[in-house]
Amino acid sequence: MRIGYGWDSHEFKSGVPLRIGGVEVPHPKGLAGHSDGDVLLHAITDALLGAVAAGDIGTFFPPTDPHWKGADSAVFIAEASRRVAGAGFRIVNLDSTLILSEPKIGPLAHKIQKRVAELLGIDAGAVGIKAKTPEGMGTENAAIAHVVVLLERKPER
């Protein structure tokens, strides 16, 4: 078994759509980032890559490479999933916590859960999506994601 941990943060920015977990979220501001700024998918990517000691998101998708400007973070998840499978593992479950003042994630959690599960090719019941407010921590203009994944070795055939 392997455990991976990922963390990411982005500041809110006007003029870009807000994407969290591969879902476009209605909000007047999106998240600044070289790609689409999807803080949850970035943290998941890092958790998966870390679990198989494959580096981090910047190893494969450097923010200095114009090819990734505005990229859909689902591409990052697909590459991390390939790395996990190539190392002989499969995802058992994933748990995440989003920290942001707004928008409220509760009403969208099920939709985000389903999309993340779809991107990872796992059952939605194996994906935890939680959200908290920053409670005066000074991060009101940012979104933060923490993710942990559990992998198990694929059975030998």
Contacts for 30 with CB less than 8 Å, ≥ 6 apart: 12, 13, 15, 16, 17, 18, 19, 37
**What is the domain partition of the chain in residue ranges?**
2-153
Residue 72's pLDDT is what? 86
Residue 34's pLDDT is what? 81
Residue 67's pLDDT is what? 72
Residue 77's pLDDT is what? 97
Domain 2-153 CATH class label: alpha beta
**pLDDT tens-digit profile of 59-79?**
888 777 777 776 789 999 999
Residue 135's pLDDT is what? 84
pTM for this predicted structure: 0.94
Q: What percent of the chain has pLDDT over 90?
A: 80
CA 42 to chain CA centroid, nearest Å: 4
**pLDDT tens-digit profile of 126-147?**
999 999 999 887 788 899 999 9
Per-residue pLDDT of the chain (157 residues; tens, 9 = 90+): 999 999 999 999 999 999 999 999 999 999 998 888 999 999 999 999 999 999 998 888 877 777 777 678 999 999 999 999 999 999 999 999 999 999 999 999 999 999 999 999 999 999 999 999 998 877 888 999 999 999 999 987 6
Are the beta carbons of 105 and 149 closer than 8 angstroms?
A: no
Query: φ, ψ for residue 89 (rounded to 5)?
Result: -120, 165
